[in-house]
Amino acid sequence: MRLLVTGGAGYIGSVVTRALLASGHEVEVLDDLSTGHRESVPDSVVFHRLSVHDAARVLTPEAGFDGVLHFAGRIEVAESVARPDLYWDVNVRGSLALLEAIRTARVPRMIFSSTGSMYRGDGDEKLAETARVEPRNPYAASKLVVDLMLAAEATAFGLGATSLRYFNAAGAVGALGERHDPESHLIPIVLQVAAGKRERLQMYGTDYPTPDGTCVRDYIHVADLAAAHVLALEAIEPGRHEVYNLGNGNGYTNMQVVAAAREVTGHPIPVVLAPRRDGDAVITVASSEKAQKDLGWQPAKPDLRDIVADAWAFHTGHR
């Protein structure tokens, strides 16, 4: 297929781009480089430095694209609380502009980078696609709005669309790893301490009803996410919007993540305990049974230590 990847210079988008190329697809990347990195895009890939708002300049009827994979967007939860206007503009208005371009260009299929953080996630049960949706911040709300847009677009205009709701993407593939600024994700922050870029880790909340009092999260290797995109692309049906949760189905506490990082890096990684943060869910663990059944997808790297080790190899090599 001839595919456009928005946000293809970012962390997940760049890994997916390479997976698509390895599967024989022709790929072009659109990214404004506000958070992405030009060197993450292969030299063989046509690159468009544009905002997602301007996707119509690339998605023309004459271009002949068979599909779009949409990763472009803002992702920082704290920023979304302080500046929700940015998230309505980029994540919502930008996605609307992209959908309008897709419709005009008669592109038949789209995959959207959604999030599992829109689920309530306070119980012990794994979260299926039917779980209660209750966004706790503008970031998660903006992702839900786009999911709803895609469902309506499929019904009204026949678009084949899939929303992949990731849980906690982590790990690295070679020179492609997390490089957010500022960094807000636990594994790269822990590894920044091990690499000497931070003095200590601030641990928020140690009195949750979990084995060690810290939050529980489901970590999914970025390479496994990429594999799911390739499979989902092949399974899209015209006029249908499907939602798939992507996670390992294994929950790890924040302190278990620290323990794995200590084992991998050999660094003591000092931790400072702090009160809970507003809006943090207690337990969020995915049920990916639907993706396994419909797409034939299985995580190849489910072990937390392997995920941390790949991320550490990236951090030490990149540094």
Active site positions, annotated: 139
> Per DSSP, what are the bridge partners of residue 27?
3
What tokens does 129 get? Answer: 């696609």
What tokens does 35 get? Answer: 């958070």
Cβ atoms of 221 and 306 within 8 Å: the answer is: yes
Best CA proximity match to 99, nearest among 156, 172, 169, 47: 156
What tokens does 20 get? Answer: 């698509």
Q: Dump the DSSP string for 88-121.
A: IIIIIIHHHHHHHHHHHHT--EEEEEEEGGGB--
Q: Which amino acid is at 57?
A: R
Residue 123 to residues 117, 282, 283: CA-CA distances in angstroms? 14, 8, 6
